[in-house]
Amino acid sequence: MKIGLDIPLRADRRRGTAHVDLRGRALLRGTVFAALTGLCLALPFPAQSFDSLTFSVAGPDEDTLTRSLRSASILAQLEQDEDKAPQDVLAAAQGDYARLVEALYAQGYYSAVVRITLDGQEAATIPPFSVPKRIDKVRVRVEPGELFTFGKTQVAPTNKRVPLPEGFVAGAPAQATVVRDTAQAAIEGWRAAGYAKAEIADQSITARHAAAKLDVALAVAKGRQFRFGEVLITSDSAVREARIRQIAGVPRGETFDPVAVEDAAQRLRATGTFRSVTVTEADEGGPDDTLDLLIEVTDRKPRRFGFGAELSSSEGAMLSAFWLHRNLFGGAERLRVEGEAAQLGGSGMKPDYDVTARFEKPAVYGPNTMFFATTGLSYDDEDDYIDRNFTFGLGVTRAFSKQVTGEVGISYSRSNITDLYLPGDPTRLLTVLSLPTAVTIDRRDDKLDPTEGLYLRAELEPFAIVNTGENGGRYAFDIRGYRAFGSEESVVLAGRLQLAGMFGPSAADAPPDYLLYSGGGGTVRGQPYQSLDVDYSGTRLGGRSFAGISTEVRVDVTDSIGVVGFADAGYVGAESFPDGSGDWHAGAGLGIRYATPVGPIRFDVAGPVAGDTGEGVQIYIGIGQAF
């Protein structure tokens, strides 16, 4: 018996990947019934709910198949609705024939019998214009028959460098999904080698019911090997076409590669200038074996502004706002101006203020390199000092891969510092020239609410204090790891390790913002803000080294609510690299998370568990996970 599995002969060029659709002849019958029934939806019917829906599946795989069929069934979805009109129930039942047959094919059952009865009457026999006034009992009975296994399997020719699914072998369960995945892998294997128009040219799929075998033969036509041709912009945009091509970075003249197509789309999206980006291949290649690419973009609104707030019982409130201008000069540039006021109403604290601006221009030294310029003014009023600071910097970032980026720059800063810890509150001027560098590896599955993956950022910044002649450097490491557990991955274990330090000038001579403290929401929750410092012969200042350890256990209670248990520890020392000669303190607590589209809302309550730097309870409220 021939099985009518319809495998499309070409890949979906819009997405750049091949997709295959396996459907049996029963799908057409169910679709026609459902479509005719849908014509009756405008007719007046009383809204009566069906009382019960039961699935009855024969055979040894009853539980597995029942779960699969329920997940595919429209009736099962409709069961959750409070108001179920009879015409909706009939349409769902007649549409379910096709959906359930497809689900059975996916599991390897090709001789199944599916019956759906509405109050004892077969749903397929009810005319679309004779809908019952009331439907009480819906029953789905499935006799899956024998599980088919693959008999003869063949797919040729294939790219030997790209493996096929392991399940496409004689004797393995003949799941329709395996056939689909095999066809897709065969097409994508050739596309990865430059054969952009590879397709399934022919297929033969035969079910031998007596032996419960499925014979599958797929013939692949790989076509011509192409090189990238012209890049054509097919939509209107405020961004210049030349800049769109420059950002996309399609390697014209090189062998076609679907990864390069997706990378081009991702670079355009990463600018933040476009609401949507589509990169497609031309329908036909040129006579010189070149294949043009078509880029269609939709611009975002050029300007945007936003606000933010965080609250801590010890540090007070932090308020922030930003203004963003996209496509500033027609080349997908971005200008972001941001202001922040911190320590508002903090216990024994005075407010700090900060205004910064950052300009970014993508694809300056190649498609993966971005130029940036930053400037800022800040006023920090702390226990030990008051720092009035101006900064200006230039630099570039480069994406080495989707997960690895690097950054290098040059920065100039000038500070007017009042040393409050010295008699008479003397002031000093510091002019600092530095070369900040950083490498970031980000393998998290979600930047706002990660459950799996690793994050690593390493920073090194040599600096020179120009007006005093002192030189030095500072470094920082931030390592975070995440692991989900449980059948639904509802438990996440998260850990963080921080290391930082400064070498060169003494603590008294260094820029105050280079010194290191522990305590507060970014280091040790439960301890007061910057409560751990170093005693330099009777003078307490920030340390020249810091280490922090944080652990969290996050448990989802519902789809939107989670609880968190956490413990943090921090170390500050006078030495440039932590050697244990400094002091430690620690805190622990519990928190609640409420999921939102912009990240979880965080509410944490913590207290000190080690050290003598604080007492009592600290409360933290913000958006996003603590790390």
What percent of the chain is predicted at pLDDT more than 90? 77
Instruction: Give the mean model confidence (pLDDT) for residues 308-327.
Output: 90
Provide the pLDDT for residue 347. Answer: 76
404 occurs within a structural domain: yes
CATH number reported for the structural domain that contains residue 386 in this entry: 2.40.160.50
Lowest mean pLDDT among 146-155, 238-247, 481-490: 481-490
Do residues 329 and 402 both lie within one domain?
A: yes
- Per-residue confidence (pLDDT) for residue 49, from 0 to 100: 56
pLDDT score, position 524: 96
Domain presence at residue 152: no
308 and 235 belong to one structural domain = no
pLDDT at 171: 95
- The DSSP code for 266 is H
- CB burial of 158-196 (b: ≥16 within 10 Å; e: otherwise) equals bbeeeebbebbeeeeebbbebbbbbbbbbbbbbbbbbbb
For residue 105, what pLDDT is reported?
95
Q: Residue 597 pLDDT more than 60?
A: yes
Task: Indicate whether 177 belongs to any domain.
Answer: no
| Confidence at 487, pLDDT banded by 50, 70, 90 | confident
Lowest mean pLDDT among 69-78, 81-90, 430-439: 81-90
Task: Report pLDDT for 538.
Answer: 86
- pLDDT 10s digits, 534-556: 999 888 999 999 999 999 999 99
Do 601 and 589 fall into the same domain?
Answer: yes
The average pLDDT across 568-579 equals 95
Helix axes of 176-192 and 86-107: crossing angle, nearest 10 degrees: 70
Domain end (from 128, 143, 158):
143
Strands (DSSP E) found in 362-512: 369-381, 385-399, 404-419, 427-434, 437-442, 453-465, 470-485, 491-503
Helix (H), strand (E), coil (C) string for 272-334? CCEEEEEEEECCCCCCCCEEEEEEEEEECCCEEEEEEEEEECCCEEEEEEEEEEECCCCCCCE
Mean pLDDT within 189-208: 95
In whole angstroms, give the CA distance from residue 458 to residue 479.
9
Residue 473 lies in a domain: yes
242 and 356: one domain? no
Picking from 574, 519, 569, 568, the residue whose alpha carbon sits closest to that of residue 542 is 574
Estimate the crossing angle of helix 241-248 against helix 258-270, to 10 degrees: 120
| pLDDT recorded at residue 48 | 53
- Which of 88, 120, 143 is the endpoint of a domain? 143
**70: in domain:** yes
Of the candidate ranges 271-275, 328-332, 349-353, the one whose mean pLDDT is the lowest? 349-353
- The predicted pLDDT at position 133 comes to 87
Question: Which residue in the block uniquely carries the two structure tokens 């002019």?
Answer: 431
What are the tens digits of pLDDT across the range 416-450?
999 998 999 899 999 999 999 999 999 999 988 89
| Residue 532 near residue 572, CB atoms below 8 Å | yes
Predicted local confidence at residue 33, as pLDDT: 45
Tell me, yes or no, whether 222 lies in a domain.
Answer: no
Are residues 457 and 354 part of one domain?
yes
- At 40, list the tokens: 């009756």
Same-domain pairing of 451 and 557: yes
Q: Does residue 570 belong to any structural domain of this protein?
A: yes
Please state which of the ranges 19-33, 512-526, 596-610 shows the lowest mean pLDDT. Answer: 19-33
In a domain, 207, yes or no: no
Model confidence at 292: pLDDT above 90: yes
Do 242 and 371 reside in the same domain of the chain? no
CATH of the domain at 253: 3.10.20.310
- Which of 95, 120, 143 is at the close of a domain? 143
pLDDT at 85 over 80: yes
- Is pLDDT above 50 for 34? no
Task: Choose between 399 and 18: higher pLDDT.
Answer: 399
| Mean of per-residue pLDDT scores for the chain | 90
Query: Does 353 lie in the same domain as 498?
Result: yes
Total of domains in the chain: 3
pTM: 0.79
Neighbours of 97 (CB within 10 A): 22
pLDDT above 70 (res 258): yes
- Taking residues 236-251, report their average pLDDT: 96
Query: What is the greatest pairwise CA distance in the chain?
Result: 100
Mean pLDDT of 85-100: 92
The percentage of residues in the chain with a pLDDT greater than 70, rounded to a whole number, is 92
Q: Quickly tell me which residue has 């689900």 as its tokens.
A: 103
Same domain, 610 and 493: yes
Give the residue numbers spanning the domain of 563. Answer: 303-623
Q: Please check whether residues 267 and 288 belong to one and the same domain.
A: yes
Give per-residue pLDDT as tens, 131-141.
Answer: 888 899 999 99
In the predicted structure, residue 453 carries a pLDDT above the cut 80 = yes
Q: Which residues of 560-598 are buried (b: 16+ CB within 10 A; e: fewer)?
A: eebebebbbbbbbbbebebeeebbbbbbbbebebebeee
Tell me if residue 84 falls in helix, strand or coil.
Answer: coil
Same domain for 353 and 423? yes
Q: For residue 511, what pLDDT is reported?
A: 94
Angle, alpha carbons 312-313-314 (nearest 5°) = 90
pLDDT of amino acid 32: 46
Question: Is the confidence at residue 36, as pLDDT, over 80?
Answer: no
Q: Is the pLDDT of residue 615 over 90?
A: no
Separation of alpha carbons 121 and 124, rounded Å: 9
465-477: pLDDT as tens digits: 999 999 999 999 9
363 & 256 share domain: no
